């Protein structure tokens, strides 16, 4: 469990899940603030290891834990999307316009890039903070273009609502590592060229 699950999530989605590192720490070893964010992976991992003891874990049991973690990650994304809807004053039930869908997804994306460390009191505040973030975020144009391209097929719908936009942001979480990997490779090439010019 301690080695297979982290590797699975990194290879499949580029996810490094806090609390699921193969470093031997358990939930009880963490300080209170860390524990609040990281207790679920550690708790599940510890439960499995305690329950299974020396006999090890079957592939089926690993798949169950992986599915549970993916569900929790999806719930977190939906929670952030609900927060974005609330900030924008949009209903969780009923239709919204395409312009509203674009705005709320853009706000979610900034929340995603900031690992949830984003707050705004209303739509105007969110738009101002998003603009400020975009100005200070190195590579914003590329990151925003990637996101817009990723969501382009879903943004051609006739109708938008919370459920449809929540599915859009799941795509961001599942695919972002591909963009991030591309950025890392570009940086590596740039640094190698700089080193070669010395």
pLDDT of 33 strictly over 60: no
User: Mean pLDDT: which of 2-11, 90-99, 107-116 is highest?
Assistant: 90-99
The residue with greater pLDDT, 59 or 2, is 59
Do residues 17 and 69 make contact, with C-beta atoms less than 8 angstroms apart? yes
Q: Which bin fits 91, alpha (ψ -120 to 50), beta or left (φ > 0)?
A: beta
- Backbone angles phi and psi of 160, in degrees to 5: -125, 150
Summarize pLDDT for 110-161 with one digit per residue, the tens: 998 888 788 999 999 999 999 999 999 888 998 899 889 988 887 877 789 9
pLDDT at 67: 77
In this prediction, residue 114 carries a pLDDT of 87
158-183 pLDDT per residue, tens:
789 999 999 888 888 778 877 776 65
Residue 133: its pLDDT value, please?
A: 92
What's the token pair of residue 6? 């982290």
Which 3-state string (H, E, C) describes 47-94? HHHHHHHHHCCCHHHHHHHHHHHHHHHHHHHHHHHHHHHHHHCCCCCC
Q: What's residue 30's pLDDT?
A: 41
Q: Taking the CA atoms of the chain, what radius of gyration do you get in angstroms?
A: 20
- pLDDT of 22 reads 57
Q: How far apart are the two ends of the chain, measured CA to CA in Å?
A: 46
Other residues' Cβ atoms within 10 Å of the Cβ of residue 154: 15
**Distance (Å, whole) CA 92 – CA 161:** 7
Which residue, 97, 92, 70, 69, is CA-closest to 81? 92
The reported pLDDT for the residue numbered 38 is 47
Say what the pLDDT of residue 29 is. 46
Q: What is the pLDDT of residues 35-89, one digit of tens each?
A: 334 445 566 666 666 666 656 667 777 777 777 777 777 788 888 999 999 999 9
- C-alpha 17/C-alpha 49 separation (Å) is 18
Is the confidence at residue 107, as pLDDT, over 80?
Answer: yes
């Amino acid at each position: 469990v301690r080695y297979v699950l982290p590797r699975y999530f990194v290879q499949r989605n580029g996810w490094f899940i806090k609390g699921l590192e193969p470093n031997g720490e358990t939930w009880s070893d963490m300080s209170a603030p860390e524990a609040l964010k990281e207790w679920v992976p550690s708790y599940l991992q510890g439960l499995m290891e305690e329950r299974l003891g020396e006999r090890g874990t079957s592939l089926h049991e690993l798949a169950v834990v992986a599915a549970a973690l993916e569900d929790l990650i999806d719930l977190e994304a939906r929670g952030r999307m609900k927060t974005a809807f609330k900030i924008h004053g949009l209903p969780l039930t009923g239709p919204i316009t395409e312009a509203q869908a674009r705005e709320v997804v853009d706000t979610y994306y900034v929340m995603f890039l900031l690992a949830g460390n984003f707050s705004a009191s209303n739509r105007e505040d969110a738009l101002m903070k998003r603009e400020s973030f975009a100005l200070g975020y190195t590579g914003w144009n590329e990151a925003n273009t990637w996101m817009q391209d990723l969501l382009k097929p879903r943004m051609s719908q006739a109708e938008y609502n919370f459920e449809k936009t929540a599915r859009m942001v799941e795509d961001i979480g599942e695919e972002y590592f591909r963009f991030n990997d591309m950025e890392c490779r570009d940086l590596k090439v740039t640094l190698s060229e700089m080193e070669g010019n010395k």
